[in-house]
Amino acid sequence: MNGRSADRPPLVALVGNPNTGKSLLFNRLTGSNARVGNYPGITVERRTAGGVLGGKPVELLDVPGAYSLSARSAEEQVAIRSLLGWGVQAPDLALVVVDSTQLLRNLYLVLQIRELGVPCVVALNMADEVEGAPPDQAALTRLFGVPCVAVSARTRHGFDALHEAVGRALDAAHPSALRLTYPDPVEAAVAELSPLVSALWQVQGTRARALALWALTSLDGEDELVDIPPELREAVAAAMTHGGEDLDEEIIATRYAWLDEHAAHASGAAPARTTTERIDAVLLHPVGGFAVFVGVMLMVFQSLFSWADPFIGVVEALMELLAQGGRALFGQGFVGDLLVEGVIGGVGNVVVFLPQILLLFLFIGILEDSGYMARAAYLMDRVMRSVGLHGRAFVPMLSGYACAVPAVMATRTMERQRDRLLTMMVVPLMSCSARLPVYTLIIAALFPPETFSPHLAGIPLPGQGLLMAGMYLFSTVMALLAASVIGRTVLKGPKVPLILELPPLRLPAAGSVLRLMWSRARAFLSEAGTVILACTVLLWGLLKFPELPPPDPEPPAVELSVEQQAAYDAAALEHSAAGRLGKAIEPAIAPLGFDWKIGVGLIGAFAAREVFVSTMGLVYGVGGDVDEESVSLRESMARQTHADGTPVYTPLVGISLMVFIALAAQCMSTLAVVKRETHGYRWPAFLFVYMTGLAWMTSLLVFQLGSALGFG
């Protein structure tokens, strides 16, 4: 029996390479009832959940994906820390998930775990994709001395056998560790390091030997590993000096040679890959691949209008009914105004974009789960390297289309501090989902399909979709330009090549896509109910107070005319605290084409970009005509005029405003997470100053140049 306390369920750690279906298997085994926290001392998320394996209640731990146990960064150190119990509870069993279509490469991690002597079960995932020539389970079981079971997390094939294997492994004695024979210089270095490793980490025998091998492949002058004793670093440096600096390469080469000799016959072919390779001939083509990428993105952005618009109309109608109900229940007065104008009007103007948020993440989930996003990363690698970004930066930057906060956190997996910092500095420039409501509002208000429908060779084009795609393309280009400048000035450093795995193309798992949509919708609604609600109510107060004394109509019995009421509402808005603040910054934003009312919206947007929409709803709700309460915000903005009768919002003003929103550092949550990741205020302050300055300068250039060219 394994030695564990009887008062807790056994801990099973799910380990595997990225893109092996590990997270899907975790969700299948736990019902996705996961708890999320951080590994002690490291800002890397850990997911744990209760489940039943082999008829036994267990606790499952989802270890972040790793190609091997060798590490260069503190975050990559998580895999071996989790397996050995350094600072965390040691697992009773490792469930190693491998990709059956890439078996030999995945078995490298299995070999390392077996050298450590960690008890494990190997799940040969994606077995349904190699049905013509599946891996030899029995041969692999004999080779590694642990159960190897063919499964499919997508179809649940082999789950009964997996449960049985895990149950037996939890009850069995620990299997003896594998021991490979390495070249003489490596064996000499291991013999020299093993006693020191044994004394420092209180391990013996084969585990001390395996950790000596780990140290030789992980410790060098540029790693960022934490809690490594200085004497071990000195000993590794001395071993490298005596035995040669390529000891780590000899270790890796020996392991792969062993796998080629002993495991190649047990690995099946992957006929399904032939189809993938044929498709990849198009998707990865330097011209055809980019054409497909542009077409996919254009379809996605156009669908955000054409597919979501009916649902947006339904949500708008519901918000209007809620406002009417609130007004009928509370009537005119402070409470009624707060509820209708502040809460329902402010938050409702943001919630109406929930259908578009859901659609956006539907497409992101499909593209990620199908394997297409990895192809997009491959296409973008040459561009990334040309501006000094590491290829791994593509994943955080891609995540930035959703939200900059998890995108900044995703930089943790990058090896070098310089690469992490550079990526953090440009990720917030990617057009996140918080900008989507602003883009949608401006494009729908100022570029309606009936007046904005460009043609190419007589063929009508989806104008709104083109504009939306153009904004996302603009933000991406600006992020790359910013990376090029910052990477050559503030954060200089050498270029590092990209090592990227292309997973097989497959049909997306509906459950994974739906879970992504649900998590993002929940986060969006949670923010709407907390941050946006608080900001909206605060801005409503600033727009409402101090109140302007009501005018005295003549005679007293006669009510104000519509014109008089509109004039009073406009004066009251200008008299409010928010109006005075907007007037104060108007000289700075007037060259961008913005009036003071837009300035009020921009001030609110610095808390969260979505607040711009709710703020404009408050501005035009508080200061609008009393007979136009049913007019949508889009229509109200399109009707706004200056004192001389000229429109406030022209297409050029709309473009200038979208450019400012795209580039300004208008997200306190992003600045907070950058402060946490960099452990200080220097980098978030730099981020805020350079992004806001870039937004002002670019918006100024767009508006002034457009005006000079006659695009009024």
In a domain, residue 37? The reply is: yes
pLDDT at residue number 585: 93
| Residues 195 and 86 grouped into a single domain | no
pLDDT at residue number 213: 94
Query: For residues 651 and 40, which has the higher predicted lDDT (pLDDT)?
Result: 651
Helices 463-488 and 372-386: crossing angle, nearest 10°?
Answer: 50
Q: Read off the pLDDT of residues 302-342 as tens digits, 9 standing for 90 and up.
A: 777 678 878 888 888 888 898 889 888 888 788 888 888 77
In a domain, residue 206? The reply is: yes
Say yes or no to pLDDT of 12 above 90.
yes
User: Do the Cβ atoms of 293 and 376 come closer than 8 Å?
Assistant: yes
In a domain, residue 177? The reply is: no
Say yes or no to pLDDT of 372 above 60.
yes
Which helix or strand (DSSP H or E) is residue 211 part of? helix 205-218
pLDDT band at 538 (very low <50, low <70, confident <90, very high): confident
Percentage of the chain exceeding pLDDT 90: 31
| Residues 84 and 220 grouped into a single domain | no
Domain end point (choices 245, 265, 287): 245
25: CATH: 3.40.50.300
Question: Quick one: average pLDDT of 448-471?
Answer: 74
Say yes or no to pLDDT of 380 above 80.
no
Backbone φ and ψ of 539, nearest 5° = -65, -35
| Residues 167 and 188 grouped into a single domain | no
| Residues 134 and 15 grouped into a single domain | yes
pLDDT band at 496 (very low <50, low <70, confident <90, very high): low
- Spatial neighbors of 627 by CB under 8 A, at least 6 apart, are 562
Distance CA 366, CA 376 (A): 13
In a domain, residue 260? The reply is: no
In a domain, residue 543? The reply is: no
| Residues 50 and 147 grouped into a single domain | yes
pTM score of the predicted model: 0.65
Q: Read off the pLDDT of residues 580-624 as tens digits, 9 standing for 90 and up.
A: 999 999 999 999 999 999 998 888 787 678 778 877 877 886 443
Cα–chain center distance at 326:
37
- Which range of residues forms the domain containing residue 146? 11-171
Question: Quick one: average pLDDT of 515-529?
Answer: 76
Torsion of CA 258, 261, 266, 271, to 10 degrees: 100
User: Do the Cβ atoms of 659 and 439 come closer than 8 Å?
Assistant: no
In a domain, residue 699? The reply is: no
| Residues 118 and 156 grouped into a single domain | yes
Q: Which tokens sit at 633?
A: 């915000």
Name 15's bridge partners: 96
Domain end point (choices 222, 245, 268): 245
Domain end point (choices 147, 171, 195): 171
Residue 414's identity, in one-letter code, is M
* DSSP-H helix ranges across 461-607: 463-488, 510-529, 531-544, 562-575, 577-589, 596-605
| Residues 199 and 113 grouped into a single domain | no
| Residues 86 and 159 grouped into a single domain | yes
In a domain, residue 361? The reply is: no
| Residues 23 and 167 grouped into a single domain | yes
| Residues 158 and 189 grouped into a single domain | no
| Residues 58 and 101 grouped into a single domain | yes
In a domain, residue 256? The reply is: no
| Residues 197 and 160 grouped into a single domain | no
Name 157's bridge partners: 152
Say yes or no to pLDDT of 702 above 90.
yes
Number of domains, the chain: 2
